[in-house]
Amino acid sequence: MSAAFNIRDEYLTRQQAAEALNCDVRTIYRATREKDGLVYAVIAGKHYFHVDDLRAWVERRKRRPGQSRR
């Protein structure tokens, strides 16, 4: 028998996302404002980030040594 599905296991608050990425909450806030930034859902006025979207955002930000940001 499988465990009950809990959506909170897959979605993080802005604070939890910042803790998971070891960054400041302001970084998460700014990332939601970028053209290719973090995808989020707004529920009852709060931002929630799916863990897969956080991973995808980190992957898009990877750089090779010597590669410029733009």
pLDDT in tens, 31-55: 999 988 999 999 999 999 999 999 9
Q: What is the pTM of this model?
A: 0.78
- Do strands 41-43 and 11-13 pair parallel, antiparallel, or not at all (unpaired)? unpaired
| 36 contacts 60 by C-beta, under 8 angstroms | yes
DSSP of 18-45: HHHHTS-HHHHHHHHHSTT----EEETT
The pLDDT, as a whole number, for residue 4 is 66
Q: Does domain 10-60 have CATH number 1.10.357?
A: no
List the domain boundaries for the chain. 10-60
Rg of the Cα atoms in the chain:
14
- Average pLDDT over the chain reads 88
